[in-house]
Amino acid sequence: MTLQTRMSDADRRLALEGELTIYTVADSLERLHHCLQDRQGFDLDLSGVTELDAAGLQLLLWTKRTTEEQGIPFRLVSRSDAVSEVIALLQLEPILGADPIDPAQGVPP
């Protein structure tokens, strides 16, 4: 499966769908790099991501760092269970600006 992107200029939202893995990250990096050009803000929607591995996580961290370096506001606005599990396991909520997951509910509060 390949990763699909949808960019909406109206709400600054980039939606990634499919696998965000070592097999798709090179293409995803190119797309993200292009999307970051001339942006005033950047909202990342990961609700359609079905799988996230270490390479995909590196891409998310690169995106966060790059937006900070460019002074672009970055928000992780939505994420799938697969993404939430990895972020929670590695306790990256503060770094990625994601709401923590309530363990009793399995979803962000």
Domain ranges of the chain: 4-96
Q: pLDDT tens, 56-109?
A: 999 999 999 998 998 888 888 899 999 999 999 999 999 988 766 554 444 444
Question: Selecting from 3.40.120.10, 3.30.390.50, 3.30.750.24, 3.40.50.300, what CATH number does the domain 4-96 have?
Answer: 3.30.750.24
Cα 86 to Cα 8, 13, 68, 69, 79: the distances in Å are 26, 22, 22, 24, 11
**Alpha-carbon gap, residue 64 to 73, rounded angstroms:** 9
What is the pTM assigned to this prediction?
A: 0.79
**Alpha-carbon gap, residue 58 to 28, rounded angstroms:** 11
Q: Which two tokens stand for residue 84?
A: 């939430």
